[in-house]
Amino acid sequence: MTVVRLGAVSFLNARPLTATLADGDGCFDLIYDVPSACSVALRQGRIDLGLIPSIEYATSPVAYCIVPDIAIGCNGEVLTVRLFFRGDPRQIRRVAVDTSSQTSVALLRILLKERYGLSPEFRCASPDLDAMLHGSEAALLIGDPVLPLVDVENAVRGDSLAGASERRSLDLGSEWRELTGLPFVFAFWAGREGAVDRGQVEELIRARCRGAGMAAEIARAFQRERAGPAELYERYLRHHITYDLGEDELRGLREFYRLARVHGVIEAEPELRFYDRPAPIVGLTQR
């Protein structure tokens, strides 16, 4: 049996996709990192399959295939992909960006232009919000570092954040939904043609289905690692993150690629290529 080197993402939102893979038959060797590092590892051949940012699929010089039916996305407010700022967002001239995910940076470029008519200067920065805002009017922060900053009951477009009443934020998932009426796809499993067979694709889909039903357990485990409220983590997984890659998600993905081309983020819209889909998996309910 060939063991697939699987580049997994270390963020909380990816854990439902990998929580049960270690319980399988040993066909996957999991390697954890941030999304941008998974992209590099896949390009360099250090992993066989990676949970890569969706923009990487369009910019990689290597032709990839996508594992069907699985993604990390949202259909509205995502909570953990946010632009933080003070004052009027239309006055933003410089944005400090956390480069852990190229997709979020590309999405922000599109949204600022489409919704606010802005083309600000972007600068790379470590994910330290106070430091990011020291030299810029706005900062893009993604993933787990956002969770301590968000009051889940009040984190809506433009609301204040707990502990920083003068600071505001825009949720990029909400902004995308308002712009397009479509879900957004941040990442999916992808790799070179032939990297996985049908049985391995089926196991990834099974793991996704099992993991989607483990939100409470995953949230408690995350709390033991990071502290904070398990209720927030569970709500985040259940109500803000989606794991589907169905027709609506594919329409959203294609619209993202279209707008990315229009705004010069990518040179061309990529063809979507998929690994062979296994037979329908009986007895498992998808999220």
Q: Is the pLDDT of residue 115 over 50?
A: yes
pLDDT score for 25: 66
Query: Residue 24: what pLDDT?
Result: 61
- pLDDT value at position 129? 92
Q: Identity (one letter) of the amino acid at 80?
A: T
Average pLDDT, the chain: 90
Percent of the chain with pLDDT over 90: 78
Residue type, 271: E
pLDDT the model gives residue 54: 96
Mean pLDDT for 213-230 is: 94
**41-58 tens-digit pLDDT:** 999 999 999 999 999 999
| Residue-level pLDDT at 100 | 77
pTM across the whole model: 0.91
Give pLDDT tens digits for 67-114: 999 999 999 999 999 999 988 888 899 999 987 778 999 999 999 999
